[in-house]
A = this chain, B = another copy of it.
């Protein structure tokens, strides 16, 4: 028992070390264990095939120190981001190094069997690039929009992908791969990625801003999901134009706030207000990046779109900030790539709407953040399996 605990501590220290290699002395410092205990643990890890001895470090005095190395290549995991318009697959080694990734667009009106076929093909390709076969994966995690039932491992409600919540995709993946396949709300995974590689803090509000808008919260250093795993649905709040009217049911699956400031509305406003050639470029590509480039260059029409969107976004975000009072806000997702031309405008407007100032940052993780969080989730599942080898 003690042997296994010590070996796990040394394993974690080795995996987190630079280049996943360390000397016994490094590991003594990192774990607080004695030198003989670290040596015994390394032997245990080497016998299990988890670590190996990989060369020596030359010292100025004394004999060279042996270096141990975590065998990150021992196994692989996959992280998958399934969105309304794209599938993004990453394959990583056991240290979380992403070895290969690929994003493919899902055809409009893709059915369940289309989606499963696309997922299998993409995962096979990405795995091949990482020199593994899918059935050799140790663990897979899938990020999805909507509300996830964690006990049953199913999507309960995902308005943005018609039919998705009734599809047996996860069950089919499990049968095909023969390894654990976890599922989690995409924004919760973006928060996981932010805490793993980004700028999280003990009290964080993370906003995933793309076509859709979702938020994830970290309270007292723990993810907060709500009583029904349905917390953080900022995209569905209704900043209404006629308050005393009955609300309209959403026809497009988008929430009220998503219709006001989502990537789709930004594109629509850009096409409506900008002149050609920018207008044509927006209409042809559906990519909003050129709009923010034009705003940065001083284009008045593009700036007016930025102004409208910043005003609306600040209104909605202020609502959640007034309710949650987090230490920090991190914005990720596709729209986060707009940069300071948009977010300085958001910060300016926010300051007038709040009772206390807020630290708003743009995530450094880019559009792969959900898949990266899925990789982390798959790795967490693997830890139990690694420990069982000892």
Contacts and interface: CB of A to CB of B under 8 A. Distances in A.
Contacts of A171: none
Contact of A323 (B147, B219, B323): B323
B241 A326 contact: no
Given A239-B239, A315-B240, A355 B230 contact: yes
B353 A238 contact: yes
Contacts of A237: 318-319, 322-323
A323 B231 contact: yes
Contact of A353 (B239, B247, B319): B247
Contacts of A244: 308, 311-312
**Dominant secondary structure at the A interface:** loop
A345 to B, nearest CB: 12
A161 to B, nearest CB: 15
Contact of A227 (B239, B243, B326): B326
A243 B241 contact: yes
A117 interface: no
Nearest to A359: B227
A388 interface: no
Contact of A219 (B219, B320, B349): B219
B247 A325 contact: no
Most chain-B CB neighbours within 10 Å: which of A225, A324, A326? Answer: A324
Contacts of A229: 325
Contact size range, A = 35 or more
Interface in A210-230: 215, 219, 224-230
A157 B234 CA distance: 27
A322 B324 CA distance: 12
Contact of A233 (B228, B242, B323): B323
Given A241-B242, A246-B349, A246-B352, 9 more contacts: A203-B226, A219-B219, A228-B356, A231-B325, A233-B322, A233-B323, A241-B243, A247-B352, A319-B319
B315 A227 contact: no
A101 B384 CA distance: 59
A319 to B, nearest CB: 5
Contacts of A53: none
